[in-house]
Amino acid sequence: MSFEAGSGLLTAWGESASLMRYLDDLFRSWAAAVGAVEYLFPPVISVRALDRAGFFASFPHFTTAVAPLRDVETAGRFVDRARRGPVDEVGRESLADARYLLAPAACYAIYDHFQGRQLEDDLRVTTLAPCFRREEAYEAASRQWAFWMREIVCIGRLGTVQSFLDGFRERLARTLQSAGFPFVVAAATDPFFDRSDPRLLMQRLGPVKDEIRYQGSLAIASVNFHRNFFGERFDIRDASGGPAFSGCVAFGLERWMTSLTREYGDDWKAYPPSLSIGPCRDFVM
Amino acid sequence: MSFEAGSGLLTAWGESASLMRYLDDLFRSWAAAVGAVEYLFPPVISVRALDRAGFFASFPHFTTAVAPLRDVETAGRFVDRARRGPVDEVGRESLADARYLLAPAACYAIYDHFQGRQLEDDLRVTTLAPCFRREEAYEAASRQWAFWMREIVCIGRLGTVQSFLDGFRERLARTLQSAGFPFVVAAATDPFFDRSDPRLLMQRLGPVKDEIRYQGSLAIASVNFHRNFFGERFDIRDASGGPAFSGCVAFGLERWMTSLTREYGDDWKAYPPSLSIGPCRDFVM
């Protein structure tokens, strides 16, 4: 592994790259155990979709925007400029307005995809995505500008979503306990919602985000209940016809790599049985 | 699958997503057969690195730049703006200058990673990356703004690189022939080099890019010889001490998905044996 602290960018190879792949295979096996369908979304999401999800009201500082050059004349000027000397930046005056962003979490693409749908059945969906969060400072494999997140999402009726989240919270804890992994489950507040939204108060009254924290501090997974926030924002209706409820379980791959390597080394073939990929022995929902 | 033609963005799920994963597993098995080490690079690359690779002199029109907001005050203004009404773009005046891009090919990150190195042994490296190319118009699974590319790269002495490319070209053709897949191998010109570089003339004299084309037109893979261009540009020296030679084999995942689905359907478990992942029976270099 190598890490550029200034930019928050990690490069993994060999054993580290294998471990990242293994971890995602493990999370996918947990997703498969609950019947989640895998989606592969584009690595960018529209500004409009993220705004609908409440991003600009909550996390605008995370913004990593994506923009092409303004026009072909501007592109032509870069040919000349590159001949005259090194190019180390593309000034904002050369860019078009940005209509896409690199998302700060994997699940936004899911709500956007199902926008305007009337669901006949409750949904379980999983996806892996490169995520981006601009921060003041970065740390290898724990706080990065770019990182990988696997999410497993349930959208539908309240009871289904609650059972999905309760089941996952319990099974995750049992799996890690049986591996002898040092962790705590802690309630967290996360401004998923517009700060003026009364649901933020509800979130504070009754926690809707539980984090699995390694050695008490590094959040390696979170279990999130969004109530019907995304159902309303994206006009997704559940079988009852009302705004769908949703919840997600999120795994940060680099953070799992850090903590599992510290506990068990980087040879995942020798990991405890509950962290191995089998016929879901230890992880049946 | 769904495709937004205006933006050139594809979403795959279920069988399509499984097929994409299967194809990458297949290409990785081919990479493993030649001893390539897997790398997982950040999904963005610095403007400086792509410039060093000759990008702005050759493909500036492909540019997809990545930029955060200018400053915290700008971020704060987005909170207010989001409360007043929908946000559907981030104007360039709100962006910082872009120091990173989304790369148009997977292998640039490799030369950047090995910049300044004196290689003791010839290298074989493989990586999968989301790639971005702005185009005038898009078509599902054949010409997209964002797409996935797996590359297998050899960097080192001239003879090693030539054997690597010759071996891959031959084995790829044999593999596809034995699957009864309709393809041709055709020489292509690709302005890898600065247009003022004499190597561009050499490229025209002796082809350095061969494409594997499905039904004669859709390039699903390419075998590229860069001479010592990247070795010079990134100051990578081979065992002899001179600028290293390099070559790569590139696979466009969406294009393979399109062509294989058309030929064999989407159940990869029923694909011809030469396209199945085994102990490299049909693909031993």
The pLDDT tens digits of the residues spanning B139-161 come to 999 999 999 999 999 999 999 99
Q: Which residues of A touch B113 (CB under 8 A)?
A: 2, 11
Please tell me the predicted confidence (pLDDT) of residue A277: 85
Answer yes or no: is pLDDT of B195 > 60.
Answer: no
Band (A285; pLDDT cuts 50, 70, 90): very low
Record: contact A95-B95, CB cut-off 8 A? yes
Answer yes or no: is pLDDT of B167 > 80.
Answer: yes
Please tell me the predicted confidence (pLDDT) of residue B70: 97
Q: Which helix (H) or strand (E) holds A266?
A: none
Q: Which helix (H) or strand (E) holds B22?
A: helix B15-33
Q: Which residues of B touch A109 (CB under 8 A)?
A: 11
Average pLDDT rounded to a whole number, residues A15-43:
96
Average pLDDT rounded to a whole number, residues A77-99:
97
pLDDT in tens, A179-199: 999 999 999 876 555 556 655
Record: contact A86-B52, CB cut-off 8 A? yes
Please tell me the predicted confidence (pLDDT) of residue B103: 96
Q: Which residues of B touch A111 (CB under 8 A)?
A: none
CB-nearest to B65 from A47, A56, A67 is A67
Answer yes or no: is pLDDT of A206 > 60.
Answer: no
Alpha-carbon distances, residue A161 vs A53, A152, B114, B256 (angstroms):
19, 12, 47, 37
The answer to whether the CB of B244 falls within 8 A of the CB of B228 is yes
In chain B, whose CA is at the least distance from the CA of A8? B42
Please tell me the predicted confidence (pLDDT) of residue A205: 47
Distance, CA of A73 to CA of A151 (rounded, Å): 41
Please tell me the predicted confidence (pLDDT) of residue B197: 61
Record: contact B42-A72, CB cut-off 8 A? no
Please tell me the predicted confidence (pLDDT) of residue B205: 47
CB-nearest to A56 from B81, B95, B125 is B81
In chain A, whose CA is at the least distance from the CA of B61? A75
Alpha-carbon distances, residue B8 vs A39, A99, A208, B69, B139 (angstroms):
17, 13, 36, 25, 7
Please tell me the predicted confidence (pLDDT) of residue A200: 57
Least confident of A58-72, A179-193, B2-16, B43-57: A179-193
Q: Which residues of B touch A67 (CB under 8 A)?
A: 64-65, 67, 92, 95, 98
CB-nearest to A196 from B11, B83, B130 is B83
Helix, strand or coil for residue B113? helix
Q: Which residues of B touch A99 (CB under 8 A)?
A: 88-89
The pTM of the full predicted model, rounded to 2 decimals, is 0.94
Average pLDDT rounded to a whole number, residues A228-239:
96
Answer yes or no: is pLDDT of B190 > 70.
Answer: no
Band (B198; pLDDT cuts 50, 70, 90): low
Average pLDDT rounded to a whole number, residues A87-104:
98
Helix, strand or coil for residue A252? strand
Q: How high is the ipTM of this complex?
A: 0.93
CB-nearest to A14 from B12, B37, B54 is B37
Average pLDDT rounded to a whole number, residues A26-37:
96
Please tell me the predicted confidence (pLDDT) of residue B277: 84
Average pLDDT rounded to a whole number, residues B34-61:
96
Q: What is the DSSP letter of B244?
A: P
Answer yes or no: is pLDDT of A278 > 90.
Answer: no
Distance, CA of B229 to CA of B124 (rounded, Å): 17
Looking at the complex, report in whole angstroms how far the Cα of residue A178 sits from the nearest Cα belonging to chain B. Answer: 30
Please tell me the predicted confidence (pLDDT) of residue A10: 98
The answer to whether the CB of A41 falls within 8 A of the CB of A30 is no
Distance, CA of A223 to CA of A247 (rounded, Å): 7
Helix, strand or coil for residue B131? strand
Record: contact A146-B83, CB cut-off 8 A? no
Please tell me the predicted confidence (pLDDT) of residue A198: 58
Record: contact B82-A102, CB cut-off 8 A? no
